[in-house]
Structure 1
Amino acid sequence: MTSLPRLDANLLRPDLVRHGDGAAASPALLWRAGAGWRMISSAVLGGGLGEREWVLNAQVGHGYTRMDPDRHLAEIAREHGLSGPGVGLMTAARVAEGAHADDGGAEAVVTAGIGVCGWAADPVAVPQQVLVPGTINVIVAVPVALSDAALVNAVATATEAKVQALRDAGFDASGTPTDAVCVAAWRAGELTTFAGPRSEWGSRLARAVHAATYEAAARYRDRRLSQ
C-alpha cells in the first residue's frame, strides 16, 4: 500500500489501496482511523452522525450502474478486513490525484472530479453539457472534540471553503451534483462548541479544505487541459 502525499500529517493518514479483482481492480483511499472518533457525513454508507472507525473513498468507473452503492461499499470494506462502524464514499474521480493539506492540526483530504459542475441554485436542474462525471469528496479531521452543533457547523465551513477554492482554481461552480463530505472529530476532551470560519478550529479547517480542494481541482484542470 502507498500513502497519499502529505505535509506533516499526524491524523488523517489514508492509504491508497485496490478493490475488485484482476484487471478490473480500482483504487481507493482508506483511512483506518481507529476508535475514539465521532464523524458527521453525507456518505451513502455510514452517513449521519456517530462514532466511526474508518473512512473509505472508493473510485468506480464512469459507467457505474449499481443501484446499491451502500452495499457495494460494505463489500469493499470487508475486502480490506474492516469491521465496526465506518464511512464509505464513492467517486468517479481519480483518487490517486487527491490532495492533502494541514493547517494547525486540522487536516483535509480532497478528491476532485469536476466534469459535471454548476451552482447549487442554478435554475437549470439538469446540466446541458455532460463531460466526464466526477465528484468532489472532502474528508476532514480535527484533534479536538466538537459538539453536535459544531460538527454541523464544520460541514458548512468545509463546504464554504470548497466553493472558495473552486472559484480560486478557475471553476465557475459551487461543486458537482454528487459531492460528499465527512468531518471527523476526536471524541475525548473538552467540547468545542463553535466551528465557523472565524472560530479557532473552524478557521484552521477552512484553510486546510481550501488548500486541498484547490490543489485537487488544479490537478484535474491541468490534466483535462493537457488532453
Structure 2
Amino acid sequence: MRYFVRDDTLFLRGRFRAASTGVHGGIADVTTILNHTVPHDFEDEPGRHLELLAARHGVFRDYFGLMTAVRMHHLCVLQYDFVTVFITAGVTNPTAPPTAPHTINIIIHSREGMVDSALLETIVTVTGAKAQALHDLGYDFPGTTTDAVVVACERDAPRVYTYAGTLTGVGSRVHAAVLRGLPEALARQQGKIQRSEPSFFIYSRYGGEHWVEWQMENCPYYPCHFPGQRCDYCYCPCYPCADEELGEWVDSSNGGRIWGCADCTLLHVPQIADYMKRNPEAALAELKRLRERL
C-alpha cells in the first residue's frame, strides 16, 4: 500500500479487498481509496464528482471514495504494527446537534488478510471506538449523519482473520488507533493543535508501549544517518519491502519476526526523496536505479 496527499485528496493505492460505507460503497476488489476535500457549500452530485476526480488522476471504476469538508493537512495517520488508520474529523463543538454539518471519515488498512465478514466486523469495531472517543470528549452523540468508513486489506495476503472484534489482533489495534486518532484529528480541525502537514503517529514499544507523534522538525536523533539527509520518509512508504539489499528479517521483542531496515538510507538521499515526492508510486527498483546514477 502506498498513500499520499495530492490536490487536497488522500490517495491509497494498491491491490485491496475492501468494504466501504461511502459513495457507491459495498465490498469489492479495488486499487484506489480516496478521501477528498470539498467546499463547505458543496452541492454537486457526490458520485459524479468523485468519478471525475478519479478520472483526472487516471483511476477508473475500481475505487472507493469518501468526501469531507476537512482540509487534508488536518489528516491523522496512525500506524499500529500491520494496521494503518487514516482519520479526518470535523465536529463543530460538543453541544452541536448530530444533524449539523459534520463528517468523520475513517479508513482502515491491514497488511494482513481478512475474509469479507471480518472486513464488515471491522466497521462495527471502528464505530464502537468512534462512539467511545466522542463520549470521552463530551459529545452526546455517537457519530454524525455523514460519517463513513472504508476497511481494506491486502488482496493477495493470506486471509488470516475471520473475525475483527476488539479481542482479535486486527480489531484491538483498530480500536486503539481510532481511540487515539479521533481526538487528535478533531483537535487539528478545531485549531487546538496547529499542523501544516498531515500528522503521523506510531505505536511504539520502545521504553514501554505508547503512541508517539513523529515530527520532522526538531527531531532529537537528527542526523541519524548522515549530515544533510532528508527525513520526509522516516517511516518508509515501502515498508516492509523485504529487499535483502536494504534490510533483513529480525526477531521481534514480542515474538515473531519483523522487517528491520534501520541502516537503509535510500529515501534519506535528497535527490531520491525529491523524486518520491514527485512520483509517490515509484517502484523500489526504480528508486534503486536512480541512486546508482547519482
Q: Which of these residues, 27, 38, 60, is aligned with residue 17 of structure 2?
A: 38
Distance in 2 separating the partners of 1:182 and 1:82: 18
Max Rg structure: 2
Structure 2: which amino acid aligns with 1:80? Answer: H
For residues 47-68 of structure 1, what are the alpha-carbon distances to aligned partners after superposition, in whole Å with 9 as ceiling and x for unaligned?
10010111111111111111x2
Aligned to 1:100: 77
Distance in 2 separating the partners of 1:81 and 1:158: 30
Aligned to 2:129: 161
For residues 85-115 of structure 1, what are the alpha-carbon distances to aligned partners after superposition, in whole Å with 9 as ceiling and x for unaligned?
0111111122220101111221100001113
Aligned to 1:88: 65
Aligned to 1:23: none
Structure 2: which amino acid aligns with 1:192? Answer: Y
Measure how far apart 1:39 and its partner are: 0.3
Measure how far apart 1:212 and its partner are: 1.9
Distance in 2 separating the partners of 1:111 and 1:146: 24
Instruction: Please give the residue correspondences for 1:42-53 in structure 2 after superposition, counting only pairs within 5 Å.
Output: 42-45=21-24, 47-53=25-31
Aligned to 1:199: 168
Aligned to 1:219: 188
Aligned to 1:74: 51
Structure 2: which amino acid aligns with 1:17? Answer: R
Aligned to 1:4: none
Q: Is the 8 A contact 2:92 2:190 kept in 1?
A: no
C-alpha RMSD over aligned residues: 2.3
- Please state whether the residue corresponding to 1:54 is helix, strand or coil: strand
Measure how far apart 1:203 and its partner are: 0.4
- Please state whether the residue corresponding to 1:194 is helix, strand or coil: coil
Q: Is the 8 A contact 2:115 2:159 kept in 1?
A: no
Structure 2: which amino acid aligns with 1:82? Answer: V
Distance in 2 separating the partners of 1:195 and 1:62: 35
Distance in 2 separating the partners of 1:38 and 1:142: 10
For residues 161-202 of structure 1, what are the alpha-carbon distances to aligned partners after superposition, in whole Å with 9 as ceiling and x for unaligned?
112222233433212210000000122314411100111111
Ranges in structure 1 where 5+ consecutive residues have no aligned partner: 1-10, 19-26
- Please state whether the residue corresponding to 1:14 is helix, strand or coil: strand
**How many matched pairs?**
192
Aligned to 1:6: none
Is 1:147 the counterpart of 2:115? The answer is: yes
Measure how far apart 1:146 and its partner are: 1.0
CA change 1:29–1:117 in 2 (3 A) is farther
Larger RCO (CA within 8 A; separation ≥ 6):
1
- Please state whether the residue corresponding to 2:123 is helix, strand or coil: helix
TM-score of the aligned structures, taking structure 1 as reference length:
0.77
Aligned to 1:14: 3
Structure 1: which amino acid aligns with 2:6? Answer: V
Is 1:56 the counterpart of 2:24? The answer is: no
- Please state whether the residue corresponding to 2:166 is helix, strand or coil: coil
Distance in 1 separating the partners of 2:118 and 2:78: 21
Distance in 2 separating the partners of 1:183 and 1:117: 27
TM-score of the aligned structures, taking structure 2 as reference length:
0.60
Q: Work out the percentage of aligned pairs sharing the same amino acid.
A: 36
Q: Is the 8 A contact 1:59 1:90 kept in 2?
A: yes
Structure 1: which amino acid aligns with 2:33? Answer: V
Is 1:109 the counterpart of 2:83? The answer is: no
Aligned to 1:186: 154
Structure 2: which amino acid aligns with 1:221? Answer: Q
Distance in 2 separating the partners of 1:168 and 1:221: 17
Structure 2: which amino acid aligns with 1:31? Answer: L
Q: Is the 8 A contact 1:139 1:183 kept in 2?
A: yes
